[in-house]
A and B are shown apart, each in its own frame.
Chain A
Amino acid sequence: MRTPLAWFNLTYERRRLLTAIAGVSFAVLLMFMFKGFENALYDSQVQLLKVLNGDIIVVNRLKYTMFIPEQFARRRLYQAQAFEGVEAAYPLYTRDGAYWKNPDTKAVRPLRVLAFNPNDPVLNIPEVLAKQEGLKLPWTVIVDEKSRAEVGPRAAGIVTELAEQQIEVIGTYSMGTDFASANGNVIMSDQNFLRYFSDLGPEETERDLNTVDIGLVKIAPGADVNALVAAMRQRLPNDISIVTKAEFVDMELEYWRKNTSIGFVFTLLTTMSFAVGIILVYQILYTDVSEHWVEYATLKAIGYSNRYLLGVVMQQSLILTMLGFVPGYLIALVLYKAATNATGLLMNMTPGRALEILVATVSMCLISGAIAVRKVQAADPAEVFGS
């Protein structure tokens, strides 16, 4: 077996190796943190959209983000039901900025109300589906456990006020907040929605069930979504936009990425953290190469080719990447957890994201390795020993 030179080079000095691994770990951690914040921002904006139980989404033509409080006529959903391949169409009613009284502090906080017919499986959340029977009672609601702390206690049985009318919490589910929902989401039946928001007095806009915020179209198994969307777009009036669920989610993400200051801020920070990561890893590899300069020169003098040396440095950088990535990843997991607990931000680590950062780390290690090795390749054995 050939001598694993790269491995011996690295492990020759333990402390040096530990420092190098720590350095790479920090670069990895830095990328994970900023990417995590960016992802948290985007993930939380679309978490509600992702649990909508529909293959096709119908919204008012003007509603290109959840921030636009425009509704469309409910009869469009009845029309949609007539298409072949459509199994059901559910209306979802939402109300932003409904005032919820914290039962402990008596302070009111705005949150978003989601309302639908409790006989329909409108949201793909098992906890909600299990409690829909209870929602049929008047003045009842299910509250998100992950609502902001300002909402107050949220256990079943609590009686408080919503929009200045009494309300009883009959259960909880778990989702999380986003910018449009402010402090959280509560779920009630469409009949209760009428009780709270159809007669608000002269000062506020009232709601009824004739206009819908989001329409969910469920298609029969085997039906072609894209063909249905095309057919519906062609035959229904153009006061609504008809999109697949994936397109609806993308539309919201697009709004955040392109059209908001917050999106810009996080893109900038993530890019910066990648740049810092590259510099850090380069620094480490360069140090390593220059420490073993004499040895490399000796190898060259014995007749090893530049190619072989490049291979050694590349191996070293790959080993460093792997060794550094693991602790960086583990610390990031802990920090993600800490950030989630501290702020309720949705810091999700998915295999895809971990892989994304791993690929970024490997490629920056290889790039830095390639730059660092140039010094070795330029080395003239005679010069090295001359001094």
Chain B
Amino acid sequence: MRTSLAWLNLTHEKTRLLVAIAGVAFAVILVFMNLGFLGSLSDTAAITYSTINAEVYLISPQALEITTTKPFPIERLYQAGGIDGVKRVMPLYVSYLQWRNVETRQSRALFVYGINPSDPVFLLPDLQKPEVQAALGQVDTVLMDRLSRPEFGPQATGTTTEADGRKATVGGQYTLGGGFAADGTLIMSDQNFRRYFDPFPLNQINLGLIKLNDGVDPLQVVEALRQTLPQDVLVMTQEQITARDRDYWIGATSTGFIFGMGVAVSCVVGVVIVYQILYTDISEHLKQYATLKAMGYRSGFLFNTVLQEAVILAVLGYIPGFIISLGLYELTLRATSGGLPVVMNIGRALFVLTLTVLMCSLSGLASVQKVINTDPADVF
């Protein structure tokens, strides 16, 4: 077997190797964190819509995303009910409600979904329980999201507090999460929505949800609806409305820019760290490299060695970076009480690995110049 020169070069000095790995690992962590936060922005939209039991959505063209909508007449939804292939139409009311923490007596805005209790609007398993269904129908009773921030206070069933100057009782819980737009969510019946948000009338709705018969192509129904309905509503499939919300979060708010820039700066720092390490290594072993050249090894061999070192550093740094990132993701989930869906997925893990190898190789290429230009005669 050939001597693995790259490996021996790196492991020759243990402390330096450890620091090098730590450097790469931290760059990896920074990239992971930025991507994680960016991902949680787009996931927020996807998570909300994927729990809604509808294939086609009506929304005002003036709406920015689900928490910033503009009401439109419920007649549009009734009109949609007459289209072939439509099984059921359901209105969805949304708004922010000031919820008082029973313990600290401080109010804070919760995001509220108002639904007709007889409509199967959400696919959440908790909502299928008969006792939760019964609670939903009661006066001044609401269901609370387990992933609401702790600042909202006790969330146990039976807790009674005040919301916008009106008594409110928690009748049950579910798990959804509000993401960046909301610190917590509530589900209540449309009748209660009418009570809390008086004088908001129920014939003005924020979202129209359309459930189709099995096997009907949503795109066809969307096409038919667009022809039938006036232009004061947008008609979209679930994928389209999810993409629209995601684009808003990433494009229209500054968050996409901030985290994108975060990734870029972290990568540059990673490149600099690895370059430092490789450059030092090369200048320390310049004599050995020159000797190899004098013995007849080609520049290509030396080039390979440095590149191998770069890739080894990338992989060795990636592993702890990945593991620590998992820990930090968990920490973020806990610190935000699960409200911010920061989760690892395979795509991102692979992307960052590729990015790490690329950035290390880039540093390798930048530092290898010195070896290639080495003239054995000069060195000695």
Interface residues, chain A, with chain B CB atoms under 8 Å away: 16, 19-20, 22-23, 26-27, 29-30, 33-34, 37, 62, 64, 67-70, 99, 107-110, 148, 150, 182, 202-205, 259-262, 264-265, 268-269, 272-273, 275-276, 279-280, 282-284, 286-287, 290-291, 335, 339, 342-345
Contact = CB atoms under 8 A, between A and B. Distances in A.
B257 interface: yes
Contacts of A202: 199, 201
19 contacts: A67-B109, A70-B98, A107-B61, A108-B62, A108-B70, A148-B252, A204-B200, A261-B340, A264-B335, A265-B37, A269-B37, A272-B29, A279-B19, A283-B23, A283-B273, A284-B276, A290-B284, A291-B283, A339-B257
A286 B19 contact: yes
Nearest to A65: B108
A312 B283 CA distance: 22
A287 B265 contact: no
B107 A291 contact: no
Given A67-B108, A68-B98, 15 more contacts: A62-B106, A62-B107, A107-B62, A259-B149, A259-B183, A261-B340, A264-B332, A264-B336, A268-B331, A269-B37, A286-B16, A286-B19, A287-B280, A345-B254, A345-B258
B291 interface: no
A249 to B, nearest CB: 18
Given A265-B37, A268-B328, A280 B283 contact: no
Contacts of B233: none
Interface string B326-343: 001001100110011000
Interface of B: 13, 15-16, 19-20, 22-23, 26-27, 29-30, 33-34, 37, 61-62, 64, 68, 70-71, 98, 106-109, 149, 151, 180, 183, 199-201, 204, 252, 254, 257-258, 261-262, 265-266, 268-269, 272-273, 275-277, 279-280, 283-284, 328, 331-332, 335-336, 339-340
Given A30-B269, A202-B201, A269 B262 contact: yes
Name the residue among B27, B149, B265 with the largest chain A CB count within 10 angstroms.
B265
A136 to B, nearest CB: 31
A33 B30 CA distance: 13
Contacts of A273: 30
Given A37-B258, A287-B276, A260 B70 contact: no
Contacts of B33: 268-269, 272
B30 to A, nearest CB: 5
A22 B272 contact: yes
A261 B199 contact: no
Contact of B180 (A62, A68, A262): A262
Name B's interface SS.
helix
Contacts of B151: 259
Q: Which 4 A-B pairs have the closest CB atoms?
A: A343-B254, A287-B280, A261-B336, A276-B26
A339 B272 CA distance: 23
Contacts of A279: 19, 22-23, 26, 273
Contacts of A287: 276, 279-280
Contacts of B19: 279, 282-283, 286
Contact of A276 (B64, B269, B331, B332): B269
Given A33-B262, A283-B20, A283-B273, A203 B204 contact: yes
Contacts of A23: 272-273, 276
Given A26-B268, A272-B26, A33 B276 contact: no
B14 to A, nearest CB: 12
Contacts of A283: 19-20, 23, 273, 276-277
Contacts of B273: 23, 276, 279-280, 283
Contacts of B284: 290-291
Nearest to B109: A67
Contacts of B276: 19-20, 23, 280, 283-284, 287
B280 A290 contact: yes
Contacts of A268: 33, 328, 331-332
A107 B23 CA distance: 48
A74 to B, nearest CB: 19
A213 B106 CA distance: 17
